[in-house]
Structure formats: C-alpha cells, structure tokens
Amino acid sequence: MNDVMQSLIDIVGERGVSNAAEELWFYSRDPGVLEPHKPDYVVAPKTTEQVQKIVQLANREKIPVVPMGNGMALTGLVIPLKGGIVLDMKRMNKILEVNEKARYAVVEGGTSQGVLKAYLQENYPHLRHSIPDAPSTTTIAANVALHGQGRLTNQYGFNSDMVTGMEIVLPTGEICLIGSPSLGPYWFSKGPTLPDLSGLFLGWLGTTGIITKLGLKLFPNKKIREVEMFVTDKAELVPEIFYKLTHLEILEDVNAWFQPKPLIFKGNFHITIYFTGDTEEEIEFKRRMIWDALQEFIDSKDGGFMNVQYTKDMLLEMPQRGIANFADVPKGGGFEYSGPITIIEHFPQYAAKVIELAKKYDVLYASSARLICGGHCMMFSISFAFNRNNPAMMKRVKEALDEATAFALEMGAVPWKPNFMEQQMTMKKIHPATLKLMQMIKRNLDPQGIMNPGNWEVI
Amino acid sequence: MAYLRNLEHGDIVHRCFRCGYCKFPVDYSDFNCPSYKAFGWDTFAPGGRMWLIRAWLSGEIETSPRFSEIMYSCVACDNCKNQCVFEKFRDFLPDVFQETKVELVNDGLVPPAVRDYFKAIMTSGNPYKLPQARRGDWTSGTGLQKYSAQEYLFYAGCVGSYDEVGQKMAKSVASMLDKAGVSAGVLGEEETCDGNEVRILGEMGLFNELAQANIEKFKTKGVKKIITLDPHALNAFRNDYPKLGARFQVFHYTEIFASLVKKKKIKFKKYPAKITYHDPCYLGRHNQIYKPPREILNAIPCVELIEMRRHGLNAFCCGGGGGNFFTDILGTGEDSAGRVRVREALQTGANIIAVACPICAKMLTDAVKMENLEDKLEVLGIAEIMARTQKK
C-alpha cells in the first residue's frame, strides 16, 4: 500500500477510501458523452475536518481533488481529467438547521435535493426550497456551485442566488465561512452587506474550493399548486408570451418545451405555467389573470390552452421523474444538453438551431427553456439523447452539442455548466481583463492548481 | 458494444442512466437501498451495479473479490425495481443482478460466505449444518401433527426450523393454526430447504434439485395447499416452483389468519400496545401482500398500529434478503439495514415491531440489541402477538 492510500485511510477509515478497480472505473465517468479518465483514489469524507485533512494532504503531495455530488451535470465536471482524488461528498448529508422564521436551512455539502424536500415536508410543511428537475439524488451544493435552477427560479432567480452562507474548505486547506455565518450564528446572508465572497466559489465548478456547509433560502409552501399549459406553433411568439406572463409577477415557474416525439408534440411550443395559492379563490384569480394575459393569442388563433387534466400529476411532480425518460428514447441510457443562459427574445433562433442540429447530426432532440427571475434571461436547454451502446451516435451528439455551444457564444449567451472544452471556447471569447481577473483569483486561491484541474484552466 | 459474456437480460444494462431514483423510497426521505446505505459508494447502488455489470460484460473490468462483494451485497429487496423511472425495463433489474450471480457461481468466484452457504445446503440440507433429524424438533407442543392428507401443509423453512427466533415464530403460528382448528400438518424431519436464497445467490443447479425434490415430495404426499411461515419460501413456491411443474395453492400464514379473523373464527381480548409493522420484502414488494398482517393487527382491540415513514411498497428492508441473512456481507455497522430500521421504528413511538418473516424477526431482534433498545422495543411475530391476545 502506498503512503497516500495509507494517509487517506488514516483520515477517513478503510470504508471511506477506495482504489479498487470497480470504484476507479465508475468514478472515472459521468452519464454524458465525454471520455472517461480514471482517478487514483475515491474518497468519501463524513466531516469538514476530514475534507480539510484530505485537501491538506493533496496540497502536500500535489494531488488533484475533484469534488463530486451525484455527477448528474452530464458535462463531465466530475471526471478527474488529471487523475487524483474524486471526493464523493454524499456521506456529508445532514440537515443541520432550519430557521423557520428567517426561512433558511443549513445543510452539509452532500445533502441531496430529495432528502431536504422530504425533511421539509415532514417537519416544516409550510416551507419549501427550489427543486431542480434533476434527479432527487443530486446534491444541493453541486447545484448551486454550477448556478442551477429550479421550480422557484422565475420568482427568485438562480438557485445560487438563494444561498445564504457557506462553509468552504479552501484549496490550501483553511476552513472559511462566507457571509453572515462568518460574523455570528445565523446563516441569513451570503454577502450583503459584506463584500459578496460567494462569487469566488459559485460558478467555479469546484475549482476554487469545496462547499462543506451551505445555507439555503426557503420559501412559503402554498397549500395549492396549479399548472396551465399554453400551446402555440409559432416560435416567434414565444418571447412575447413570456413577456406577458412575467408581467403578472405571480408565477412560480414558466417553461417552454418542444420535442418531435411522440408525434402529438411535434411542431408545437408548450408553455407550462406554474402558480400557487392558499385558497381556491386565489388560484382561480391567478388562473383568470393568466388566461387574460394570453387572450390576445387565442383571439388571433395563434394558440390556446391545452387540457392538462390527465397530465397534471406528472407536471406538478417535483422533481419531474419523467424527464429522465428522455435517456431511453433511443433505447438508450443517455442524454446530454447544452444550456446557454440567454435573453428571451432569442427563443426563436435557438428553437430553429435545435431542429437544424438534430437534422444535421441525425440525433433526437428535446428542448426546454426556463425563465429566470421574471424573464431577465432564460436557460435554453438543447438536449440530445443517445444510445450508450452506439459510439457513433454518441459522437454525433457530442458534435451537435459543440456546435450548439459555438452558436450560443456567437449569440452572446453564457454557457451553463460548460464542459472543459466549452470552457475553453468561452475563455477565448471572454473579455481579456475578465479572463485575467479569473486567473488572478484562481492562482491566489489555488496556488498548487489541485482543485478540479482542467476546468476553468487558462492554457 | 460487443459483450464477452452474455446474460439473458444483458440487452438492458446499457439503458441505465444511473439517475439514482432507484436508491430512494418514493418520498426521498432516506436511501432505501440497503447496500448503498451500508457501503456508501455509488458502485453499491443499483445504478452503479448496472454500470459495473456492463463494464464486466464487455471486459473493461475483471471478476474480482470486490466485484463479487458488490454483486452479493444486493439484498434483492426489489426497491430499485419499483422506484426506477424506466418503466420499459425496470422489472428486469433484479434479473440482471441475479443472472450476474449465476455467472459468478459458474466461474466459481463467489465470496467465501456464499460458497459456505451452498456447501452447507448441499451437505446438511440446511445452512446451519444441523442434523436433518432435528428439523422437526420445533413442533413439539404445538399440537400440529405430521402431514397426512390434512387440508394444508404448514412449511416452516430452514430459519423457522433451526433458528431460535425462527422456532419461536414457527411455534406460535403452528399453535394458532391448531387452536383455530385449521387442518394442517408438518413434514418435520422430512422437510427440506425451499431454495429461495439458493436461487437468488445464483446456484441454479442446486436450486433446481431442491425445488424438484420438494415438488415430488409434495405431490407424493398429496399436498394441494401450503401455508408458509417464511415469505421467502412463499416466494419460491408461488413464483418459481410453477415453472418446474408445481401446481399448489400457496398462502402466507398471515393470509390464513386474516381470513379467519374476518370470519370471526379467531377472536381477541384487549391488548393495549403501540405496534409498528415491518413489511418483509418477500411478502410485500415481491408478492404484494400488504393488507393481511395489518388487518390482523387492526382487529385486536386497543392495539394502535402506527406506520413507519417507509412502509408498504416503500418499506426499508431488514437487510436479511438475498442470502445476506446467512452471508452477512452488509455487516452490522451503524448504517446496516437492521439498525437503521429499528431506529426508524423507534421514531414512531411504538413499543412492538410486528414482523411476518422469521428472517426479519432475527435481523431486527439482533439490531434492537445492537442499538441498546431492548427496554424500548420488542420484536414479535404476528402470531406471537395474536397468542398474547387469546383468552386462557
């Protein structure tokens, strides 16, 4: 046994570290289309102190460290591009505190979305958090670290905007508190009125530190959730529909989706509109407002509301389990998507591009746009499914996604959770002074370059 | 991708997205896969197992003690099959895991504890290596006679016949059958292993031998209806034996008692107790028998039946399925299934965990001891509870 392995065992015990062929094989890949790369060790810490000791060891030995939640970003962000240690954070899964009146929760860095949802339902049924449509095993910390979105994003912004404090193990091994917990026992603000240091970690994809604790905003959980679906076959009208809907300032979430299969969906753009209320009167009032806002499109025969009586349960499910099913349409096992963050008026161009790419690369698409914070921008997902036993199809999906990212950058979008190649494309286009600032931050925080190397790395 | 090995359901292994819904119950309150809960590596979750099997079929990873440990850590609880979002192939997940174990058996590459289990069954006819002549000792004092054309055969199984906790459970069921006037007999020293765990552990040759011998014996003796103590035996008799030509009606004892309670042939006196019921995987998820045990408990005056958060289709396994009762691959750590389950039972405020499976009874009894909860929780079989409510 080598010294590093023994040191890791000393830190986390024998059941907390593995260099067995099985774990090295599994943790070398994610469910997306990128090539795997093996780690040297997989380590599963249970405490912040263990994470600290692992990072200190990694610093001493110059070993890469790749923090991992459930690995469902699909863009290879947990693939250890330069080997080293994959840090499976999921054993750090305690819910440490809920401050009911201040409406925040404090959780450990490996806590899953599902477990927090269940905990709130049982103990604080009048509170909720913003649940993404990723599987319930995905971790809250990983989701905010890559600026994920969820069911409350239209109302309150990116899920990373909902962070209320962090405990970070820095790449040099110090444990650092960010926001109000750095001054006292309360986790109510990640920055204001201090300098907002959370920006040194959110969006950095694990290259500047490891989130070991996280404060997260909770929101009122209204007694009734409802959904309406507006359908139009004119992509060019979708931005205006978005605009009318966001003007209402009452909607939990708005998604526009289109896909060619099953046939009933082909050629239409489905706008799913979620809203909530505490009474039937409130719900009906909001429903009336939604219908009134879109009446002009009905009058002009450009669209109409679809009956959701039989699909309502599925639409209201959080997370929507059925979304994973897209992976099995080509029988199966996978899909991956590019998700540029862009302005809503570009919806028609992106919609056309998805269909063009699907045809060009002979792949199956499903696309969905989610409004962010009242329509200041949207996440537009360009998703392609593949058969994992068909390498040629996987290659075509990868090429289609590369072209989608290039297109998004040309259109002035910001790539969401970009893979390491898309990061390079982004850094080529980014303003030189911005890039220099990113470099300065990275070099100062991670002088040995051990944190998730290969990502946000200036070549 | 070409595979170097073949499984009957090998064509679905690449279709797993490893999304992880399979690890959870429907409300996501905790991990519901006992091996993932105990080991904490993604490789020990159903999705991880699927991906590893694919790598193994294609020759990317080799058979190893670790691979074998991962495969045999599955307790066959069927949670994954019910929680997986891929309806087109999720029913076959347990088959893929079982077929992989068959291959490991064929290659002679099973964990030592699994090898020893097979050897004990082959040489002694039971996993305890105890004499066949003592198999019927537990029947003493129960009132049940040797089977000779009674309406039902009462089949106790290996755990009910040899394990102390299992014997207690078997005795209480037998006594209650006798008291209720059910025409039933036992095979005693003529009874042999049902083979359910042998099959799930992948030794198909041995399973077929056991099953065919049992079928022949039952036929020769004119058995038409069987009551089982053990849901594992029920599973083998009801789902696997018919493929080998068996044509028996098979019941779990809770089904018989629930029916008698409904017909008012069994009556109870008051029994003030808070009881939580633990669904055995082989009774619940494998055979959809959820109501009868609850109907019995609810019929007892003054019993307060309190459900654990995870119950019914979402129940958390005791950790004893898939042969782990005998092989103990999951171990007895803090996150082992039995210990997690008794902590969950404690949260309900109940003072009795009712069980309907001798394996669950033993696993949870041991877990109560390990958690130092003996003064707070008692593990009792349904018939043991019924016995406490009978007028003397």
Chain B environment of A324 (Cβ under 8 Å): 17, 19, 21, 85-86
Last residue of a domain, one of A179, A205, A220: A220
Asked whether residue A51 is domain-assigned, the answer is yes
SS3 call for A257: strand
Check pLDDT > 90 for residue B245.
Answer: yes
Give me the pLDDT at residue A197, please.
Answer: 97
Instruction: Specify whether A251 is located in the same domain as A356.
Output: yes
CB pairs A-B closer than 8 Å: 111
> How does the average pLDDT of chain B come out, rounded?
96
* Last-in-domain residue among A70, A90, A110: A90
Whether residue A458 is contained in a domain is answered as no
Q: Where are the alpha helices (DSSP H) in A203-279?
A: 238-247
Indicate if A166 and A249 belong to the same structural domain.
no
Q: How far apart are CA B7 and CA A456, in angstroms?
A: 42
Domains of chain A: total: 3
Percent of chain B with pLDDT over 70: 99
Domain final residue pick, A55, A90, A125: A90
Mean pLDDT for B334-363 is 98
Place of tokens 């809770």: B254
Q: Is there a single domain that holds both residue A248 and residue A394?
A: yes
Q: Which residue of B has its CA nearest to A73?
A: B19
Q: Could you identify the residue written with the tokens 């790369």?
A: A37
Q: Give the pLDDT score at B67.
A: 98
Query: Which domains, from first to last, does chain B contain?
Result: 10-110 (no CATH), 116-258 (no CATH), 267-388 (3.40.50.10700)
Judgement on whether residues A263 and A365 belong to the same structural domain of the protein = yes
Residues A135 and A53 in one domain: no
Is A296 within a domain? yes
pLDDT at B154 over 90: yes
Nearest-CA residue of chain A relative to B88?
Answer: A328
Confidence tier at B392 by pLDDT (50, 70, 90): low
A172 in the same domain as A96: yes
Asked if residue A173 belongs to a domain, the reply is: yes
Q: Is residue A415 part of a domain?
A: no
The range of the structural domain enclosing residue A243 comes to 224-410
Q: Please state, in angstroms and rounded to a whole number, the distance separating the CA atoms of residues B333 and B331.
A: 6
Same domain, A206 and A229: no
A232 and A342 part of one domain = yes
A101/A131 same-domain check: yes
Residue A76, in any domain of the structure: yes
The CA distance from B119 to the nearest CA of chain A, in Å, is 28
Q: Is residue A326 part of a domain?
A: yes
Cα–chain-centroid distance for residue A144?
7
Do B28 and A20 make contact, defined as CB atoms within 8 angstroms?
no
CA distance B40 to chain A (A): 7
Cβ-proximal residues to A275 (8 Å cutoff; 6+ apart), any chain: A225, A226, A227, A228, A250, A251, A252, A283, A286, A287, A290
User: From the list A25, A321, A333, which residue is nearest B60 (CB)?
Assistant: A25
CATH number at residue A168: 3.30.465.10
CB contact under 8 A, B19 and A332: no
Rounded Cα distance between A42 and A59, Å, is 16
- pLDDT of A459: 65
State how far the Cα of B16 lies from the Cα of A36, in Å rounded to an integer. Answer: 17
Tokens matching residue B100: 């992989």
* pLDDT tens, position by position, B34-88: 999 999 999 999 999 999 999 999 999 999 999 999 999 999 999 999 999 999 9
What sign does the CA torsion over B316, B319, B320, B321 have? positive
Are B39 and A15 in contact (CB < 8 Å)? yes
Q: What is the CATH number of the domain that holds A268?
A: 3.40.462.10
CATH number at residue A72: 3.30.43.10
Q: What is the pLDDT of residue A83?
A: 98
Task: For residues B384 and B354, give the distance between their C-alpha atoms in angstroms, rounded to a whole number.
Answer: 9
Residues of A in contact with B20 (CB under 8 A): 70, 72, 135-138
Length of chain A measured in residues: 459
Mean pLDDT of B234-245: 98
The shortest CB-CB distance from B40 to any of A25, A44, A71 is to A44
Say if residue A71 is in the same domain as residue A113: no
Q: Is residue A421 domain-resident?
A: no
Q: Digits of tens for pLDDT over chain A (459 positions)?
A: 689 999 999 999 999 999 999 999 999 999 999 999 999 999 999 999 999 999 999 999 999 999 999 999 999 999 999 999 999 999 999 999 999 999 999 999 999 999 999 999 999 999 999 999 999 999 999 999 999 999 999 999 999 999 999 999 999 999 999 999 999 999 999 998 899 999 999 999 999 999 999 999 999 999 999 999 999 999 999 999 999 999 999 999 999 999 998 888 999 999 999 999 999 999 999 999 999 999 999 999 999 999 999 999 999 999 999 888 888 989 888 999 889 999 999 999 999 999 999 999 999 999 999 999 999 999 999 999 999 999 999 999 999 999 999 999 999 999 999 999 999 999 999 999 999 999 999 999 999 999 999 999 976
Q: Which residue of B has its CA nearest to A43?
A: B41
Number of H helices, E strands in chain A: 13, 19
Q: Which helix (H) or strand (E) holds A212?
A: strand A210-217
Tell me: do A8 and A130 sit in the same domain.
no
Chain A contact for B28 (CB, 8 A cutoff): yes
- The end-to-end CA distance of chain A, in Å, is 35
Whether residues A23 and A33 share a domain: the answer is yes
